[in-house]
Structure 1
Amino acid sequence: MIRHLVLFKLNEGVERDDPRVVKGVEVFRALKDKIPEIRFWELGWNLSDRPIAHDFALNSAFDDTAALRRYVEHPEHQAGVALWREFATWVIADYEF
């Protein structure tokens, strides 16, 4: 299994209630029902107020790297990424478990 972690940081001046952010979260929340390769899917807002903390997290799992690649390339995922690109940056980690 491959764990896919993504930590998002909202751009300066962008708040959680920004309509673009709300839409981005909705789109990502819905991916679990649209992409069959997803085996585990959870996401949510960070509760920490530490300066080094990111704002939003996505924790997911896939059977193997081929399934992860299909997810990454899936049009529904790409549409979500395009939305998030407008208001956030992110870091990822993919590892076997």
Structure 2
Amino acid sequence: MITHIVLFKLKDGIERSAPSVAEAEKFARAVGDHVPELVDWRVGWNTVDRDISYDFAAIGVLPDRAALEKYQVNAYHQESVQKWRAISDWVVVDLADS
């Protein structure tokens, strides 16, 4: 199993209440419905405000590396990526269960 974790930080000047943020969130929430390789999909806003905190997270579980590669090129996922790219910076980590 691979746990795919993405942490998003809204760009300076982008407010959570912006329509572009609402659109990106809507797409992120629906990724799990559009990527059949995902075993589990969770997204949400950070609930604790700290200087080092990111704003939004997406966590997906996939059965293997091949599924991760299909997820990465999935058209709906790529559309979601474009929406987040316009409003945020992010970091990604992919954890392989041992």
TM over 0.5: yes
Runs of 4+ in 1 over 3 A off after TM superposition: none
SS in 2 for 1:37: coil
Residue 79 (structure 1) aligns with: 79
TM-score by length of 2: 0.96
Residue 6 (structure 1) aligns with: 6
SS in 1 for 2:89: strand
* Runs (5+) with no aligned partner, structure 2: none
Could you tell me the percent identity over the aligned residues?
A: 42
**Matching of residues 59-78 of structure 1 within 5 Å:** 59-78=59-78
Aligned partners of 1:11 and 1:71: how far apart in 2? 25
Residue 50 (structure 2) aligns with: 50
TM-score by length of 1: 0.97
Between Structure 1 and Structure 2, how many residues are aligned? 97
Aligned partners of 2:17 and 2:2: how far apart in 1? 32
Q: Map Cα deviations across residues 52-88 of structure 1 (whole Å, 9 max, x no partner).
A: 0000011110000110110010110101101111110
The Cα RMSD (Å) is 0.6
